[in-house]
Amino acid sequence: MVKLKLLIGGIVFIPLVAVLCDFSFGRFWFSERSDHQKLVKKPEQLSASAVSNQHSSVSDKAIVAQVNSAIFTVPNEFQGKIIQQAQLSKPDKVIALTFDDGPAPKYTQQVLQILKQQNIKATFFCVGEMVHYFPKIAKLEVADGHAIGNHTWHHWYRHMNLSVAAREIESTATAIYQTMGVKTFLFRPPYGILNNGVADYA
């Protein structure tokens, strides 16, 4: 009798757990929110002072005028390869300064200000949704002469099938082009993960 009760309980309990897990996984999988989006306020929630600095006096038209529809491409020797470290042919000492995950209020603008003061150029690997939320800051990166790279739309680290990986990269490329007026073939996978689908697609 006890075994029968356990069996009946298991028959009801196991499918119930499976349905709940499947529902939770589905909500996570199809969610359009990134892991960090909860921490980022949308532009309409920001105060005017949150996005103002020395660049605030620059009009959108002036910024766009400085953008020359640049194309940021990958050097021939690195095209079609996944690399974690570039082997340089010249013995010169060089530094490639890069920034990931923006553009974002406050920190991106502080970085841009320092780079401008020191006359330094860098590469900004942009997250698509951040370009979407903060287009004015994104335009400042290009207006200041920095290179732009693709860092996917959501900055996910989980495994993605081909269609999801394609959407992550292509939607970001579109946002970068439509917002910043540049085309980029530079790509950096979030967290440096090379085996979750996005690097393969890229």
Residue 169, token pair as written in the block: 């990269």
> Could you tell me if 18 and 106 lie in one domain?
no
> Could you tell me if 2 and 86 lie in one domain?
no
Q: d(Cα 169, Cα 150) in Å, to the nearest integer? A: 7
Q: d(Cα 55, Cα 90) in Å, to the nearest integer? A: 37
The H or E element containing residue 100 is strand 98-100
> Could you tell me if 93 and 151 lie in one domain?
yes
> Residue 148 in 3-state DSSP?
strand
Q: pLDDT band at residue 48, thresholds of 50, 70 and 90?
A: very low
Phi/psi of residue 118, nearest 5 degrees: -95, 0
> Could you tell me if 19 and 63 lie in one domain?
no
Condensed to tens digits (0 to 9), the pLDDT of residues 96-129 reads 899 999 999 989 999 999 999 999 999 999 999 9
Q: Is the pTM of this model over 0.75?
A: no
Residue numbers of the domain that contains 101: 36-201
Beta strand pairing status for 98-100 and 71-72? unpaired
What CATH number is given to the structural domain containing 93? 3.20.20.370
> Could you tell me if 14 and 107 lie in one domain?
no
> Could you tell me if 40 and 27 lie in one domain?
no
Q: Tell me if 146 sits within 8 A of 115, measured CB to CB.
A: yes
Number of domains in the chain: 2
> Could you tell me if 13 and 77 lie in one domain?
no
State the average pLDDT over residues 32-47.
39
Q: d(Cα 30, Cα 43) in Å, to the nearest integer? A: 23
> Could you tell me if 86 and 8 lie in one domain?
no
> Could you tell me if 98 and 3 lie in one domain?
no
> Could you tell me if 103 and 146 lie in one domain?
yes
> Could you tell me if 86 and 163 lie in one domain?
yes
CA dihedral 164, 37, 42, 112 (to 10 degrees): -100
Residue 62 neighbours by CB under 8 Å, 6+ apart: 143
> Could you tell me if 6 and 52 lie in one domain?
no
Higher-confidence residue of 136 and 93: namely 136
